Homo-oligomer: A and B are copies of this chain.
Amino acid sequence: MKITAISNPKVQYWLTLKKPDVRKEGRLFLLEGEKLIKEAHALNLIETLIYYETLPTALAQVKEIYQVDYKVISKLSSLTSAPNLIAVCKIPDYQVKYPEVILALDGVQDPGNGGSIMRSALGFGVKHLLLSETSFDPYNDKFIRATMGAFFKVNVERLNLVSKLIELKKAGYKIITTSALGNTQIKTAIVKEKLVIVLGAEGQGISSEINALSDFEINIKINPELESLNVSAAAAILLYEIMKIRGVSYD
């Protein structure tokens, strides 16, 4: 039952998963790359496996498997050189206990920056990422690629960030924001509190509603010749510094 036509209804359905609204509605997305697909399989998230040439034995138990020809896999893939495997993958439900430190992004739109930020978060032990609805879609292929394998190791939720921050404050979290006007030094904030570190888009910064929730406005002092750091650079510095102060160490 090799599928050879792009007009095949299955293929047409899979292609709809390139649209953010369809992904959100169906809680499904397309995942490329054998390593990530195996990670998703271990988490029981693979719904359908689509392959072109070879089916890895480790994935042979997936319940829906289709072989397709090169034309079809190329059309499904977002890469210039199509992979052997693509999966229809479930968007995880995170019914987790929130960790002590959470990272949140408000209005960050570039998925490349997003991927770099998720890597820095994992690198310094922060495993939960909240995204405002004005931020990039975390099931976008560019983001997934930019995470370079961090993707399934950090929980990610895209939601009404203001409501979530209010809820987390009630649960005892302190909100840290960055601001060129702030005068809190990183150190004074942050030893034992439960924290949400919120970063905004360069240029606009953090929305006023979220600013009003901030407990600590941190200013990473920079040369006045520069307007602002790239958001992923600011994230890296904050995560590194805060987690070091909290004694999280990978020595």
- Residues from chain B with Cβ under 8 Å of A237 in the complex: 236-237, 240
Q: Of the listed stretches A9-17, A41-49, A99-107, A221-229, name the one at the interface; the rest are far from the partner chain.
A: A221-229
Confirm or deny: A86 has a beta carbon within 8 angstroms of a beta carbon on chain B.
no
In the complex the two chains form, is A153's CB within 8 Å of B225's CB?
yes
The reply to whether the CB of A123 lies closer than 8 angstroms to some CB of chain B is: yes
Q: A112-B112, A124-B223, A250-B224 are in contact. Are A230 and B232 (CB under 8 A)?
A: yes
Q: Does A220 contact B (CB under 8 A)?
A: yes
Q: Which of A116, A221, A230 has the most CB of B within 10 A?
A: A230
The answer, yes or no, to whether A122 is at the interface (CB within 8 Å) is yes
Q: Is the CB of A222 within 8 A of B153?
A: no
Nearest-CB residue, chain B, relative to A148? B227
Q: Which residues of B contact A220 (CB under 8 A)?
A: 240
Known: A232-B232, A236-B234. A226 touches B112 (CB 8 A): no
CB < 8 Å neighbour of A149 from B227, B233, B241? B227
Question: Does A57 sit at the interface, judged by CB under 8 A?
Answer: no
- Complex Cα distance A34/B94, Å? 47
**CB-contact partner of A223 in B115, B123, B222, under 8 A:** B123
Instruction: Classify chain A's interface size.
Output: 35 or more
Within 8 A of B (CB), among A172-223: 202, 220-223
Q: How far is the CA of A230 from the CA of B224 in the complex (A)?
A: 25
Give Cα A232–Cα B234 distance, bound, in whole angstroms: 10
Q: A222 → chain B, closest Cβ, in Å? A: 4
The answer, yes or no, to whether A90 is at the interface (CB within 8 Å) is: no
- Would you call B226 and A123 a contact (CB within 8 A)? yes
A249 CA / B116 CA spacing, docked (Å): 26
Q: CA A228 – CA B148 in complex, angstroms? A: 9
Q: Is the CB of A221 within 8 A of B251?
A: yes
Q: Are A123 and B229 in contact, CB atoms less than 8 angstroms apart?
A: yes
Contacts of A122 in B (CB 8 A): 223, 225-226
Q: Which residues in B have their C-beta under 8 angstroms from that of A153?
A: 225-226
Contact status B236-A124, CB under 8 Å: no
Residue of B nearest to A230 (CB): B116
Task: Tell me if A120 is interfacial: C-beta within 8 Å of chain B.
Answer: yes
Query: Could you list 28 examples of A-B contacts with CB < 8 Å?
Result: A112-B112, A116-B230, A116-B232, A119-B229, A119-B230, A119-B233, A120-B230, A122-B223, A122-B225, A122-B226, A123-B223, A123-B233, A125-B223, A148-B228, A148-B230, A149-B226, A149-B227, A150-B226, A220-B240, A221-B249, A221-B251, A222-B250, A230-B232, A233-B235, A233-B236, A234-B236, A236-B236, A240-B241
